């Protein structure tokens, strides 16, 4: 059964693929930076699953915003994008402590 998508505006949110491309980073760089940050789901990011969030996931995939074969879509807010970019530009992953 589809669930409602969070208030994060999906059209304005950034995919990890888009962040990698904008910074000329290899695939997975934005994901590793994302995982190193203390971000809050529903505020800083939204994860879309193809079964639970079918229409939204399909729209994001059809727009070319995901890597081929992606099993989920992680979309981040402007602020989270800035934080991910800071981590990538510094070359040092953030720590939780």
pLDDT tens by residue, the chain, 97 residues = 445 545 567 778 999 999 999 999 999 999 999 999 999 998 899 999 999 999 999 999 999 999 999 999 999 999 999 999 999 999 866 554 4
pTM of the model: 0.85
Q: What is the dihedral of CA 68, 61, 28, 22, to 10 degrees?
A: 120
Angle at 86 between CA 66 and CA 57, to 5 degrees: 20
- Is residue 73 within 8 A of residue 60, CB to CB? The reply is yes
């Amino acid at each position: 059964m589809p669930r409602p998508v969070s208030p994060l505006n999906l059209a304005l949110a950034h995919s990890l693929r888009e962040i990698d491309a904008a910074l000329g980073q290899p695939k997975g760089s934005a994901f590793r930076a994302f995982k190193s940050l203390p971000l809050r789901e529903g505020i800083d990011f939204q994860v879309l699953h193809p079964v639970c969030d079918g229409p939204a996931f399909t729209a994001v995939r059809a727009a070319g915003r995901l890597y081929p074969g992606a099993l989920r879509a992680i979309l981040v807010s402007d602020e989270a994008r800035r934080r991910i970019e800071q981590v990538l530009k510094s070359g040092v992953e953030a720590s939780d402590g």
